[in-house]
Amino acid sequence: MDWRMVEDWVRHDDRCVLPLGSTEQHAGLSLATDAILAERIAAEAAEPLDIPVFPVVPYGLTPYFSGFPGTVTLRVATYAALLRDVLDSLKGSGFRRILIVNGHGGNQPAAAIAQEWMMDHPDARVRFHDWWRAPLTLAAVQRIDPVASHASWMENYPWTRLAGRLPEDGAKPMVDVDRMRTLPPFEVRLLLDDGNFGGRYQRDDSEMLEIWEVAVQETRALLEQW
Protein backbone atom coordinates (compact mmCIF):
# COMPACT_ATOMS: atom_id res chain seq x y z
CA MET A 1 0.00 0.00 0.00
CA ASP A 2 0.96 3.61 -0.35
CA TRP A 3 -0.27 6.39 1.90
CA ARG A 4 -3.28 7.20 -0.31
CA MET A 5 -4.47 3.61 -0.08
CA VAL A 6 -4.28 3.78 3.72
CA GLU A 7 -6.21 7.04 3.72
CA ASP A 8 -8.90 5.46 1.53
CA TRP A 9 -9.03 2.34 3.73
CA VAL A 10 -9.69 4.12 7.02
CA ARG A 11 -12.67 5.95 5.49
CA HIS A 12 -14.65 2.71 5.65
CA ASP A 13 -12.78 0.42 8.11
CA ASP A 14 -10.58 1.14 11.11
CA ARG A 15 -9.01 -2.33 11.58
CA CYS A 16 -5.34 -3.20 11.09
CA VAL A 17 -2.88 -5.85 12.27
CA LEU A 18 0.49 -5.35 13.95
CA PRO A 19 2.72 -8.46 14.23
CA LEU A 20 5.33 -8.62 17.00
CA GLY A 21 8.37 -10.87 16.75
CA SER A 22 11.86 -11.32 18.10
CA THR A 23 15.40 -11.94 16.87
CA GLU A 24 16.82 -14.68 19.07
CA GLN A 25 18.37 -18.12 19.07
CA HIS A 26 16.13 -20.97 17.95
CA ALA A 27 18.64 -23.85 17.98
CA GLY A 28 19.02 -24.88 14.32
CA LEU A 29 16.15 -22.70 13.07
CA SER A 30 16.32 -19.10 11.89
CA LEU A 31 17.09 -16.35 14.40
CA ALA A 32 14.04 -14.62 12.91
CA THR A 33 11.65 -17.53 13.63
CA ASP A 34 9.27 -15.56 15.86
CA ALA A 35 9.12 -12.63 13.45
CA ILE A 36 8.63 -14.89 10.42
CA LEU A 37 5.78 -16.81 12.04
CA ALA A 38 3.95 -13.79 13.49
CA GLU A 39 4.06 -11.86 10.21
CA ARG A 40 3.00 -14.83 8.10
CA ILE A 41 0.10 -15.76 10.39
CA ALA A 42 -1.07 -12.14 10.37
CA ALA A 43 -0.82 -11.83 6.58
CA GLU A 44 -2.62 -15.10 5.82
CA ALA A 45 -5.34 -14.38 8.35
CA ALA A 46 -6.01 -10.86 7.09
CA GLU A 47 -5.63 -11.41 3.34
CA PRO A 48 -9.21 -12.56 2.52
CA LEU A 49 -10.54 -9.62 4.51
CA ASP A 50 -8.21 -7.09 2.83
CA ILE A 51 -7.27 -5.76 6.28
CA PRO A 52 -3.86 -4.02 6.29
CA VAL A 53 -1.01 -5.82 8.02
CA PHE A 54 1.92 -3.66 9.06
CA PRO A 55 5.51 -4.97 8.93
CA VAL A 56 6.49 -7.10 11.89
CA VAL A 57 8.41 -5.50 14.75
CA PRO A 58 11.49 -7.78 14.55
CA TYR A 59 13.01 -7.05 17.98
CA GLY A 60 11.53 -7.88 21.36
CA LEU A 61 12.39 -8.81 24.93
CA THR A 62 14.81 -11.73 25.16
CA PRO A 63 17.55 -10.91 27.69
CA TYR A 64 17.85 -14.54 28.81
CA PHE A 65 19.18 -15.54 25.35
CA SER A 66 21.73 -12.75 25.10
CA GLY A 67 24.54 -15.27 25.61
CA PHE A 68 23.76 -16.69 22.14
CA PRO A 69 25.34 -14.70 19.27
CA GLY A 70 22.81 -13.09 16.96
CA THR A 71 20.19 -12.55 19.65
CA VAL A 72 19.00 -8.94 19.83
CA THR A 73 17.09 -7.77 22.90
CA LEU A 74 15.52 -4.47 23.90
CA ARG A 75 15.09 -3.18 27.42
CA VAL A 76 11.52 -3.14 28.72
CA ALA A 77 11.49 0.68 28.85
CA THR A 78 12.71 0.86 25.23
CA TYR A 79 10.13 -1.66 24.09
CA ALA A 80 7.32 0.13 25.89
CA ALA A 81 8.29 3.44 24.29
CA LEU A 82 8.55 1.83 20.85
CA LEU A 83 5.10 0.21 21.08
CA ARG A 84 3.47 3.38 22.33
CA ASP A 85 4.95 5.32 19.42
CA VAL A 86 3.75 2.69 16.93
CA LEU A 87 0.24 2.65 18.41
CA ASP A 88 0.16 6.46 18.41
CA SER A 89 1.13 6.47 14.73
CA LEU A 90 -1.49 3.87 13.79
CA LYS A 91 -4.18 5.83 15.57
CA GLY A 92 -2.97 9.02 13.93
CA SER A 93 -3.51 7.32 10.56
CA GLY A 94 -7.13 6.59 11.49
CA PHE A 95 -6.97 3.05 12.84
CA ARG A 96 -9.07 2.47 15.94
CA ARG A 97 -9.06 -1.34 16.16
CA ILE A 98 -5.57 -2.85 16.22
CA LEU A 99 -4.95 -6.58 16.46
CA ILE A 100 -1.48 -7.38 17.80
CA VAL A 101 -0.37 -10.83 16.61
CA ASN A 102 2.47 -11.80 18.92
CA GLY A 103 4.98 -14.51 18.08
CA HIS A 104 7.32 -14.35 21.09
CA GLY A 105 6.59 -15.38 24.68
CA GLY A 106 9.00 -12.81 26.10
CA ASN A 107 6.89 -10.01 24.63
CA GLN A 108 4.15 -10.47 27.23
CA PRO A 109 4.69 -6.95 28.68
CA ALA A 110 3.28 -5.69 25.37
CA ALA A 111 -0.20 -6.79 26.52
CA ALA A 112 0.04 -4.58 29.61
CA ILE A 113 1.48 -1.74 27.54
CA ALA A 114 -1.51 -1.97 25.19
CA GLN A 115 -3.91 -1.86 28.14
CA GLU A 116 -2.11 1.16 29.52
CA TRP A 117 -2.19 2.85 26.11
CA MET A 118 -5.98 2.35 25.88
CA MET A 119 -6.32 4.04 29.26
CA ASP A 120 -5.03 7.19 27.54
CA HIS A 121 -6.93 6.50 24.28
CA PRO A 122 -10.43 5.36 25.27
CA ASP A 123 -11.69 5.73 21.69
CA ALA A 124 -9.31 3.00 20.43
CA ARG A 125 -9.14 -0.75 20.97
CA VAL A 126 -6.14 -3.08 20.97
CA ARG A 127 -6.48 -6.86 21.08
CA PHE A 128 -3.39 -8.89 22.03
CA HIS A 129 -3.15 -12.36 20.47
CA ASP A 130 -0.45 -14.96 21.18
CA TRP A 131 -1.11 -16.95 18.03
CA TRP A 132 0.71 -20.17 19.03
CA ARG A 133 -1.01 -20.58 22.39
CA ALA A 134 -4.48 -19.41 21.52
CA PRO A 135 -7.00 -22.09 22.65
CA LEU A 136 -7.70 -23.87 19.34
CA THR A 137 -4.10 -23.72 18.13
CA LEU A 138 -2.69 -24.96 21.42
CA ALA A 139 -5.21 -27.81 21.43
CA ALA A 140 -4.06 -28.79 17.93
CA VAL A 141 -0.43 -28.82 19.09
CA GLN A 142 -1.27 -30.91 22.13
CA ARG A 143 -3.20 -33.45 20.04
CA ILE A 144 -0.14 -34.07 17.90
CA ASP A 145 2.55 -34.00 20.57
CA PRO A 146 2.22 -32.64 24.13
CA VAL A 147 6.00 -32.21 24.42
CA ALA A 148 6.40 -28.96 22.50
CA SER A 149 8.66 -26.09 23.46
CA HIS A 150 10.92 -23.28 22.32
CA ALA A 151 12.94 -24.20 19.19
CA SER A 152 11.42 -27.68 19.09
CA TRP A 153 9.25 -29.22 16.38
CA MET A 154 6.38 -26.79 17.06
CA GLU A 155 8.38 -23.94 15.50
CA ASN A 156 9.93 -26.03 12.73
CA TYR A 157 8.07 -24.99 9.57
CA PRO A 158 9.37 -24.96 6.00
CA TRP A 159 9.67 -21.18 6.29
CA THR A 160 11.70 -21.16 9.53
CA ARG A 161 14.32 -23.67 8.37
CA LEU A 162 17.65 -22.59 6.94
CA ALA A 163 18.56 -23.47 3.36
CA GLY A 164 21.39 -25.94 3.09
CA ARG A 165 21.13 -27.20 6.67
CA LEU A 166 19.99 -30.75 7.30
CA PRO A 167 17.12 -31.01 9.80
CA GLU A 168 18.13 -32.27 13.22
CA ASP A 169 16.81 -35.66 14.20
CA GLY A 170 15.63 -37.22 17.44
CA ALA A 171 14.36 -35.58 20.60
CA LYS A 172 15.82 -33.75 23.56
CA PRO A 173 14.81 -34.11 27.23
CA MET A 174 12.98 -31.09 28.59
CA VAL A 175 15.16 -28.65 30.48
CA ASP A 176 14.16 -27.25 33.85
CA VAL A 177 12.58 -24.03 32.61
CA ASP A 178 11.87 -22.75 36.14
CA ARG A 179 15.54 -23.10 36.97
CA MET A 180 16.52 -21.48 33.67
CA ARG A 181 14.54 -18.37 34.58
CA THR A 182 16.77 -17.84 37.63
CA LEU A 183 20.04 -17.93 35.68
CA PRO A 184 22.13 -15.18 34.03
CA PRO A 185 22.55 -15.40 30.23
CA PHE A 186 25.87 -17.26 30.14
CA GLU A 187 24.49 -19.99 32.43
CA VAL A 188 21.32 -20.20 30.33
CA ARG A 189 23.51 -21.02 27.33
CA LEU A 190 25.33 -23.75 29.27
CA LEU A 191 22.02 -25.23 30.43
CA LEU A 192 20.36 -25.21 27.01
CA ASP A 193 23.38 -26.22 24.92
CA ASP A 194 21.89 -25.94 21.40
CA GLY A 195 18.97 -23.74 22.51
CA ASN A 196 16.05 -26.17 22.23
CA PHE A 197 14.06 -26.44 25.49
CA GLY A 198 13.10 -30.05 24.78
CA GLY A 199 11.05 -32.40 22.64
CA ARG A 200 11.40 -33.61 19.07
CA TYR A 201 13.26 -31.39 16.64
CA GLN A 202 10.93 -32.02 13.71
CA ARG A 203 7.62 -33.63 12.81
CA ASP A 204 6.03 -34.37 9.46
CA ASP A 205 5.07 -31.26 7.49
CA SER A 206 1.51 -32.55 7.09
CA GLU A 207 1.09 -32.24 10.87
CA MET A 208 2.68 -28.79 10.87
CA LEU A 209 0.39 -27.52 8.14
CA GLU A 210 -2.60 -28.89 10.04
CA ILE A 211 -1.64 -26.76 13.04
CA TRP A 212 -0.91 -23.79 10.80
CA GLU A 213 -4.36 -23.84 9.24
CA VAL A 214 -5.99 -23.86 12.67
CA ALA A 215 -3.82 -20.91 13.73
CA VAL A 216 -4.68 -18.89 10.63
CA GLN A 217 -8.40 -19.54 11.01
CA GLU A 218 -8.35 -18.73 14.73
CA THR A 219 -6.54 -15.44 14.08
CA ARG A 220 -8.87 -14.56 11.19
CA ALA A 221 -11.90 -15.15 13.40
CA LEU A 222 -10.72 -12.43 15.76
CA LEU A 223 -10.77 -9.96 12.88
CA GLU A 224 -14.08 -11.17 11.45
CA GLN A 225 -15.86 -11.00 14.80
CA TRP A 226 -14.49 -7.55 15.62
pLDDT in tens, 101-152: 999 999 999 999 999 999 999 999 999 999 999 999 999 999 999 999 999 9
Per-residue model confidence (pLDDT) at position 192:
97
Contacts (Cβ under 8 Å, ≥6 apart) of 169: 201, 202
β-bridge partners, 20: 57, 102
Domains of the chain: total: 1
Give residue 105's domain range. Answer: 3-224
Per-residue model confidence (pLDDT) at position 177:
94
CATH number for the domain spanning 192: value is 3.40.50.10310
Say if residue 174's pLDDT is above 90. yes
3-state SS of 125-175?
EEEEEEHHHCHHHHHHHHHHCCCCCCCCHHHCCCCCCCCCCCCCCCEECCC
